[in-house]
Amino acid sequence: MTAKDRAPAPSPTGHSPAPAVPTAPRSPRPSPETLGSPEEVSALPTAHLEALADLDRLTAIASIDLLNPDLVERLDEISQRTMTRLGHPAAYVSIVLDTAQLILSSAGMSGWICQAGGTPIEWAFCGHTVALARPYTVEDASQHPAHQASPLVIEEGTRAYAGVPLVSATGQVLGAHCVIDSEPHRFTQDEIAELQAAAAEIVQVLTEHSMPAQTNSTSG
């Protein structure tokens, strides 16, 4: 089965603690021009979720052998290098799913996020990077309306974030590569360029570990 064979269906009623994922997953992604400022970003969670729930995007991610040890090892090397070169205390590679971000590789991180393997999508900085499909920076998350209430800020002490999207050859935004800091920081173009260079390498590694399209229509 391909993504195009999958039909969106109404969400069931009843409480749903996860963000309500839109029922039209292939809605057009909002243009970056309309989602620039913190105020605009925080005011458009539905637009973000629509982009993240895009079925073609999820299908592209599902084609990657994310559990491959070689894949993770190579991404760990890149994360470590990014962290060292940029001089921030942590860097990671996030694969952004529809309800959570999967932290596929990290350097300098510890605690419950590593143990959980990621975070719920509503707390993920990288969710914004993927939804916007362009570099996304937060100078001081404690003052940012979209992030100031997040446990990543309140409990984990994250203050600054810079992430760039991981865009596949077919144009799907799979995730993000980013650095974070516990101190406020204004990121420079050079730092973004360094992240983008690393992101290109990461996409190459992900591509090398992509599996042939699975046309599974027999499950269930």
Partner 1 sequence: MDMGIVERTAADARTASAVPPVKGALIAVEGDAVRGLLPVSMDEAHAMVVRLLPPAHAQSLWAEVLTVAGLTGTEADLPSMINLVQALTQAADPVVAMCARGLQIRLASYQLLRFTQTLVIGGTP
Rounded to a whole number of angstroms, the minimum distance from the CB of residue 134 to partner 1 is 23
Rounded to a whole number of angstroms, the minimum distance from the CB of residue 144 to partner 1 is 17
Interaction residues for partner 1, span 75-104 (CB under 8 A): 76, 79-80, 89-90, 97-102
- 193 or 211: CB nearest partner 1: 211
Interaction residues for partner 1, span 156-175 (CB under 8 A): 156-158
- For position 45 contacting partner 1 by CB under 8 A, the verdict is no
What is the H or E stretch that residue 180 is in?
Answer: strand 173-181
- 8 or 38: CB nearest partner 1: 8
- 38 or 120: CB nearest partner 1: 120
How many CA atoms lie less than 13 Å away from 58 in the CB half-sphere?
A: 18
- 22 or 30: CB nearest partner 1: 22
Query: What is the spatial distance between Cα 128 and Cα 52, in angstroms, rounded to a whole number?
Result: 9
Q: What angle do CA 34, 36, 40 make, to 5 degrees?
A: 75
Distances in Å between the alpha carbon of 43 and those of 53, 72, 150, 167?
18, 35, 16, 25
